Structures are given as C-alpha cells and as structure tokens.
C-alpha cells in the first residue's frame, strides 16, 4: 500500500520575469491545487524558488508540479521529489 503522508518538494530557477507553479493532485479525475508558488513582484530572471508540501496520498493519486505560467528550469541541481513519511 502506497497510501500515507508524503513530503513533496521542488526547486526551480526562473527563466522569465514571472511564473506560477502549482503542486497538483489528481484523485479519480479531480484536480486539486495543493500548493502554489510564484515570484510575485520579484521580476528578475535567475533566482531559485522552492515549493514544499505535506500531502495525504491515497493509492491511485497522482502528484505533479504544473507550470501555470512563465518559464522555469528544473536542472540536475534542482529537482522534484516525494518521500513517504508515514503510512
């Protein structure tokens, strides 16, 4: 059973002046935004931003990061990952 509490995190580097990145859960076709990160009024390209969320996950849930607007890079130094904390 893969259900439980997970911590998901991503680190991204901006390539454009504005971006919006959502952490999405797809549960049986219903999409839910779990957390959102944006650079807001900081409009210079280049800095790194982080998104971390604790999520209750059921067996068939899909969790992914979705870039809603802007341009970002996930390089070898940056990542998207999830780790199970408890059942």
Strand partners, 31: 26
- Per-residue model confidence as pLDDT tens digits over 20-62: 888 999 999 999 999 988 887 666 777 788 888 999 999 999 9
- β-pairing, 72-73 vs 30-38, is unpaired
Rounded CA separation 71/12 (Å): 10
- Predicted model pTM: 0.75
Rounded CA separation 87/83 (Å): 12
Are 2 and 84 in contact, with CB atoms under 8 Å apart? Answer: yes
Q: Which helix (H) or strand (E) holds 82?
A: strand 80-86
Q: Give yes or no for residue 74 having a pLDDT over 80.
A: no
Instruction: Please choose, from the candidates 26, 7, 5, the residue with its C-alpha nearest in 3D space to the C-alpha of residue 81.
Output: 7
């Amino acid at each position: 059973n893969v259900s439980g509490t997970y911590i998901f995190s991503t680190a991204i580097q901006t390539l454009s002046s504005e971006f919006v990145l959502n952490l999405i859960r797809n549960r049986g076709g219903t999409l839910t935004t779990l957390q959102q990160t944006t650079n807001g009024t900081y409009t210079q390209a280049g800095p790194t931003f982080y998104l971390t969320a604790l999520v209750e996950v059921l067996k068939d849930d899909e969790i992914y990061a979705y870039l809603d607007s802007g341009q970002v890079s996930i390089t070898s130094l940056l990542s998207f990952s999830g780790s199970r904390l408890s059942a």
